[in-house]
Amino acid sequence: MQNITLKVEGMSCNHCVNAVEGAVGKLGASAKVNLAGKSVAVEYDETKVSAAAIKEAIEDQGYDVVGE
């Protein structure tokens, strides 16, 4: 398993937490949002999903992945 922590702008409330964690979860990865820290800790199986796909899923929810 691989772990990355992404810096994500625009998450403001628990709806956002659910949107991001849900979108990453659909990829078979596990995400934990830190709202105050503007970050998303992700654990994923790099043989099944790429970090790029995870970032894209978060962007697709309307947030900006600004770094790792």
14 binds its own copies (CB under 8 A): yes
Question: How far is the C-alpha of 39 from the C-alpha of 48, rounded, in Å?
Answer: 23
DSSP string over 13-26: SHHHHHHHHHHHHH
Residue choice 4, 16, 41, 51 for contact with its own copies (CB under 8 A): 16
58, 16 Cβ separation under 8 angstroms: no
Residue (1 or 13) nearer to its own copies, CB: 13
Q: From the CB of 45, what's the least distance to its own copies, in Å?
A: 29
36 binds its own copies (CB under 8 A): no
